[in-house]
Amino acid sequence: MLSFVYDALPSRVIFGAGCLDKLPEEIDRLGASKALVLSTPQQRETAAGIATRLGSRAAGLFDRAAMHVPIEIAHAAREEAGRVGADCCVAVGGGSTTGLAKAIALTSPLPILAIPTSYAGSEMTPIWGLTQEGRKTTGRDTRVLPKVVLYDPTLTLSLPPAFSATSGINAIAHCVEALYAKDANPVISMLAEEGIRALAASLAVIVQDPGNLEARSEALYGSWLGGIALGSVGMALHHKLCHTLGGSFNLPHAETHTVILPHAAAYNASAAPETMLRAARALAAESAGAGLYDLAARLSAPLSLRAIGLHETDLDRAADLAVQNPYYNPRPVTREGVRVLLQNAFDGRRPS
């Protein structure tokens, strides 16, 4: 008998090429007038251009966002928001920048307007994360959910094909885990399957033709669906492993998701066979694990933890950390099982 709970998250989404032009009126619509624009150092030029567009509505620019939101940078950004008298934040970039905006919103009433330039999906979730002394802590709080998200695919045209691939597979990870989440429901499962399909199809085009705006739009659409999925239901083993590897070993976020996802899907296949069949169908593959691995290979994305900087001597500690305070998972999480998964991911073995 079908039974579920579905909580819809409140957010305003504006999607389409050129929609960035609507940013000033969206700030006005929130009743704000002094925006602190946030970015990584690498995206300062883009953020500065947006601050220029805002004119008197821009209170300042903070360009120190970093992966996994180090607590020291979060403190500095909060202080800067107070110093310039900001009454909202405009996050320009991917998950690192959106995560920094969330760290500000977690301790203040400042609303967030997010302008994604990657396929991270964080902009659609109430999930925050902070890293302190080598440990990444995550939580869920509706205060950090962006009030407005402007998806302008023209801002993703400059994403290099390699990062487009890993960022897109990161978004696919949100969809895959939503299918077997503890609180999965028919609405989110439908969106998650469509997200996998849209991303897998569009990423294959983007790596060959990075300037294809139609494919960029389709990928951004898929990442939006992945963000909804991630924000609406719980996470499982895959995200626990990625948070552990990223927060404790400083591995690159999207690349870590890319490497771990096929192995996490294979780990859970026997415990969630129907949902993994849905993922395989969206990938046009025989199995989810192999299909995800083959997709990464076709996109020339990294296939092993070794390739993205983890040392084999770190695997035991990673396994120990990953089984502490475990997330819900359809298959029981054991230290032995996780250690085998990590070894397979380290070696870059194709799941069978």
State how far the Cα of 7 lies from the Cα of 184, in Å rounded to an integer. 11
Residue 7 confidence (pLDDT): 81
Q: Which fold has domain 12-156?
A: Rossmann fold (3.40.50)
* Alpha helix positions (H), the chain: 23-29, 44-54, 71-84, 95-105, 161-179, 186-206, 213-232, 237-249, 253-268, 273-283, 288-298, 315-322, 335-347
Residues 148 and 113: beta-carbon distance below 8 Å: yes
Instruction: Print pLDDT tens along the chain (352 aa).
Output: 778 887 888 889 999 999 999 999 999 999 999 999 999 999 999 999 999 999 999 999 999 999 889 999 999 999 999 999 999 999 999 999 999 999 999 999 999 999 999 998 999 999 999 999 888 888 999 999 999 999 999 999 999 999 999 999 999 999 999 999 999 999 999 999 999 999 999 999 999 999 999 999 999 999 999 999 989 998 999 999 999 999 899 999 999 999 999 999 999 999 999 999 999 999 999 999 999 999 999 999 999 999 999 999 999 999 999 999 889 999 999 999 999 999 999 999 999 8
Residues 6+ apart with CB under 8 A from 122: 94, 95, 98, 99, 102, 227, 230
Taking only the tens place, the pLDDT of each residue in 194-250 is 999 999 999 999 999 999 999 999 999 999 999 999 899 989 999 999 999 998 999
pLDDT in tens, 155-188: 999 999 999 999 999 999 999 999 999 999 999 9
Q: What is the DSSP letter of 291?
A: H
Cβ atoms 135, 22 nearer than 8 A = no
Q: Give this prediction's pTM.
A: 0.92
For position 352, what pLDDT does the model report? 83
Return the pLDDT at 329.
Answer: 97
Is domain 161-347 in CATH 3.40.50.1980, yes or no? no
> How high is the pLDDT of residue 269?
97
Q: Is 301 helix (H, G, I), strand (E, B) or coil?
A: coil
What values do phi and psi take at 296, rounded to 5? -60, -40
Domain boundaries, the chain: 12-156, 161-347
Q: Tokens 């771990």 correspond to what residue?
A: 260
User: Which residues, 6+ apart, have CB-to-CB distance to 190 below 8 Å?
Assistant: none
pLDDT computed for residue 172 by the predictor: 98
